[in-house]
């Protein structure tokens, strides 16, 4: 007997957003459709809708972040929620307080949602399992495990440019071994019906079980991106590497760096993506990052709408069609 998905509420709607794993294509599509309804909010004079007025959302970041924390904060404020940003370096947790004690104290302040980023895989699941029943938890990245909202904003960007996922070839290039983003992207792409997902990296940067993930693995960049529709570049996660997995960054760029010349092997209308932060001259050349086929900055903008969608749906406000 399979265990119930703790991410779903009693009616089958979104309760927590911890991982793409276990979600249906229809639910992922609902998230994308709901995000679509929020894209126009940024163009308004007053960039707010009242869907989460009176709700309190706490950004609980145990790991440094700029884009993710900021876009979650902007998304929450555009939904009219009150936002708490906990500075972990000066919090009681840094003084020895347990994660559960921190959680209980914040719940006593009537927090409705925790947005959690943590260096340990499973931290967001742990908090979701121990939080009060009315509290929702969003995983903003945990260890090497998952980064589901980043994957969904990437899916939103792809759908905006390519329409349907069926028929697409998508290549993910770089440090797949240490990337929680790549794992979430692969799950989302396969769930949404992408025709082919490729991963391209040296053998030392691919997980041993890579072929069980539903991808085709390549070790040659030019061969791997041939005739693809979408290229997603990943940065080298040097902070998570143990041992000498690469000879040097310079040699890595010579073999796996995306240049204009190499981009010519992809389809003429292929788009280039990157979850950030970018290491120019390591995984991507500046001409490509700033070029006409790059949609990297659009990913950041779309991230606000996607996170608005996830927050509103998780707190029980079906926002689709409700933006006026």
Task: Give catalytic status of residue 117 as yes or no.
Answer: yes
The answer to whether residue 47 is catalytic is no
- pLDDT of the residue at 45: 85
Q: What is the pLDDT of residue 103?
A: 87
Q: Note if 169 is an active site residue.
A: no
* CATH topology match: 25-147+303-314 vs 148-300: yes
Q: What is the pLDDT of residue 77?
A: 97
Q: Supply the CATH classification number for the domain 148-300.
A: 3.40.50.1370
> What DSSP letter does each residue of 20-72 carry, written as one string?
STT--HHHHHHHHHHHHHHGGGGGSSS----TTTT-EEEEEESS--SHHHHHH
How many whole angstroms separate alpha carbon 172 and alpha carbon 151?
12
**Domain regions of the chain by residue span:** 25-147+303-314, 148-300
The mean pLDDT of 277-301, rounded to a whole number, is: 96
Residue 164 has pLDDT above 90, yes or no: yes
Query: What is the second-level CATH architecture of the domain 25-147+303-314?
Result: 3-Layer(aba) Sandwich (3.40)
* Known catalytic residue at 44: no
Model confidence at 247, in pLDDT bands (50, 70, 90)? low
Which tens digits make up the pLDDT trace of 205-231? 999 888 899 999 999 999 999 999 999
Q: DSSP string of 100-169?
A: HHHHHHHHTTT--EEEEEESSTTHHHHHHHHS-TT-EEEEEEETTTB-HHHHHHHHHHHHHHH--STT-E
Whether the Cβ atoms of residue 3 and residue 129 lie closer than 8 Å to each other: no
The chain-wide mean pLDDT, for the chain, equals 90
In tens, the pLDDT along 113-124 reads 999 999 899 999
Residue tagged active-site, from 19, 34, 39, 68? 68
Question: Contact, 271 vs 293, CB < 8 A?
Answer: yes
Kindly tell me if the per-residue pLDDT of 320 is higher than 90: no
pLDDT of residue 245: 56
Q: Is 147 a catalytic residue?
A: yes
First to last CA, the chain: 44
Q: C-alpha angle 267/269/270, rounded to 5°?
A: 65
The single residue of 29, 67, 267, 293 carrying the catalytic annotation is: 67
Residue 68 pLDDT exceeds 90:
yes
Provide the phi-psi class of 167: left if phi over 0, else alpha when psi is between -120 and 50, else beta.
left
- What pLDDT sits at residue 176? 95
Report CA torsion sign: 311, 314, 320, 324.
Answer: negative
Output the pTM of the full model.
Answer: 0.91
Question: Which of 16, 145, 147, 198 is labelled catalytic?
Answer: 147
pLDDT at 71: 96
Q: Annotated catalytic residue: which of 10, 95, 242, 324?
A: 95
Annotated active-site residue in 16, 55, 78, 117? 117
Q: Partners of 120 in the beta sheet?
A: none
Name 84's bridge partners.
Answer: 58
């Amino acid at each position: 007997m399979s265990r119930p998905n703790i991410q779903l509420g009693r009616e089958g709607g979104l309760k927590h957003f911890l991982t793409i794993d276990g979600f249906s294509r229809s639910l992922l599509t609902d998230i994308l459709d709901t995000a679509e309804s929020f894209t126009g909010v940024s163009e308004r004079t007053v960039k707010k809708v009242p869907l989460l007025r009176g709700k309190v959302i706490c950004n609980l970041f145990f790991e440094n972040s700029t884009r993710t924390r900021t876009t979650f904060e902007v998304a929450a404020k555009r939904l009219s929620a009150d936002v708490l940003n906990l500075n972990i370096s000066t919090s009681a947790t840094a003084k020895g307080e347990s994660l559960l004690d921190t959680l209980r104290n914040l719940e006593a302040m009537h927090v409705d949602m925790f947005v959690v980023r943590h260096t340990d895989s499973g931290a967001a699941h742990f908090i979701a399992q121990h939080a009060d029943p009315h509290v929702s938890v969003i995983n903003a990245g945990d260890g090497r495990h998952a980064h589901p909202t980043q994957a969904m904003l990437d899916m939103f960007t792809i759908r905006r440019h390519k329409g349907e996922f069926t028929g697409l070839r998508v290549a993910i290039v770089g440090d797949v071994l240490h990337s929680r983003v790549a794992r979430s992207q692969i799950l989302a792409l396969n769930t949404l019906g992408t025709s082919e997902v490729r991963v391209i990296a040296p053998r030392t940067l691919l997980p041993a079980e890579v072929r069980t993930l539903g991808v085709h693995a390549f070790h040659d960049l030019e061969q791997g991106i041939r005739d693809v529709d979408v290229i997603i570049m990943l940065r080298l996660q040097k902070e998570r590497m143990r041992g000498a997995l690469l000879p040097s960054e310079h040699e890595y760029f010579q073999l796996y760096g995306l240049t204009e010349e190499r981009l010519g092997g992809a389809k003429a209308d292929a788009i280039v993506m990157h979850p950030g932060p970018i290491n120019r001259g390591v995984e991507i050349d500046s001409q490509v990052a700033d070029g006409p086929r790059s949609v990297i900055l659009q990913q950041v903008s779309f991230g606000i709408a996607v996170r608005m969608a996830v927050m509103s749906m998780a707190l029980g406000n079906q926002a689709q069609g409700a933006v006026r």
